[in-house]
Structure 1
Amino acid sequence: MHFSLASVAPAAILLMASTAQACLNYGTSTSYDNGQMDGGTTDNGAHTCTINTTPRFSGGTGDENAYWPADCISGYSATIKNKGADVEYCNPSTCFTFSATCDYASDAIRCNANVFGC
């Protein structure tokens, strides 16, 4: 059986496109004054979750086990832990965790991540 590059290339491109992860952007800012975290996620260009958590904050800002649930569109969810540095994120097809890079400034903790090479 003989395959030419021209006959294999379309199948290879389709496989790569179908298995690639979407670009996920995440960012938060947590105030030291009141523990409020604001931010959100954008998944492949669509705003999927909003983080604005004072009413549902669980734990104190010094509590390493504190978590912030996010308000997400249907099919998505996010839980932020470790003062914004760790995120459990679900889209309609899969769930995963990732770590963000955080800057511990004098007024707030600011965290961000670009997941899947975006």
Structure 2
Amino acid sequence: MALLGELTPIVGTYLLLASFLTLTAHIAARNFLGNVPFTRALAIGPPIAVVPFVLQRYFGLLIIVIALALDLSLFHIVYRIKWRTAGFVTAIHVLVSFLASIVIGGIVYLVSLGPPTAPS
């Protein structure tokens, strides 16, 4: 039972990250490529979400470079687009993910503050 207690947060974090990356990949692809099916984005998010879990003992910059290379390759393969176009979509994916994480982090911070107290 102890394994379930340690495994549950890891699986939950992975699923949350994979869902977030899938959604932002779809937004990036739709922004640059037009109307694309969401099912293709399902092939982008989960493999990229595995990278930080598998390579967590290595230097952070190495993890970012590998994740970007994987993101670029997956966009090229899954959407069947040229490398240059995949590079643009990857750049948009990074930007959308960064901006969305700032907004979500801000919302979480504001919610964590709780309701304002009444003046005394």
After TM superposition, the score normalised by the length of structure 2 is 0.32
After TM superposition, the score normalised by the length of structure 1 is 0.32
More helix by share: 2
More strand by share: 1
Which has the higher Rg, Structure 1 or Structure 2? 1
